[in-house]
């Protein structure tokens, strides 16, 4: 199994107004985007070419949306990248860039 292209832990994952997990994990690996709950169980996954990631309008900088399999998820990542060696999720813009790069759409 190849090294993941992007991994974020401690991510709040929600669907509409419902929170699915407050300590989830987002991973881009082997051409798939995976949303995992705090226990490591899969919430949803899809091929990276079928995923649309964007920044919602009028939302704080730490939020991103991801459309997987017809479902829209709101991801709350970090506002800024954590300092090297410090725990915490990477910035939402890094997730969006990673999805676009993995899908071959550029940045």
Number of separate helices (H) and strands (E) present in the chain: 1, 7
pLDDT at 13 over 80: yes
Question: Tens of pLDDT along 71-106?
Answer: 999 999 876 667 777 766 678 889 999 999 998 876
Residue 1 pLDDT: 52
Residue 44 pLDDT: 97
Predicted TM-score (pTM) of the model is 0.85
CB 73 within 8 A of CB 17: no
User: How many residues are present in the chain?
Assistant: 107
Cα 22–chain centre separation: 13
- Say if residue 85 is exposed, middle or buried (CB neighbours under 10 Å; 0-12, 13-18, 19+): exposed
Question: Tens of pLDDT along 35-72?
Answer: 999 999 999 999 999 999 999 888 888 899 999 999 99
pLDDT at 21 over 90: yes
């Amino acid at each position: 199994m190849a090294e993941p292209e992007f991994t974020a832990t401690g991510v709040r994952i929600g669907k509409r107004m419902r929170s699915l997990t407050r300590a989830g994990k987002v991973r881009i690996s082997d051409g798939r985007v995976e949303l995992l709950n705090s226990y490591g169980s899969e919430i949803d996954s899809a091929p990276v070419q079928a995923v649309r990631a964007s920044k919602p309008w009028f939302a704080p900088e730490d939020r991103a949306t991801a459309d997987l399999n017809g479902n829209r998820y709101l991801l709350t990542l970090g506002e800024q990248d954590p300092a090297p060696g410090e725990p915490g999720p990477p910035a939402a813009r890094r997730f969006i860039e990673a999805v676009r790069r993995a899908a071959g759409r550029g940045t």
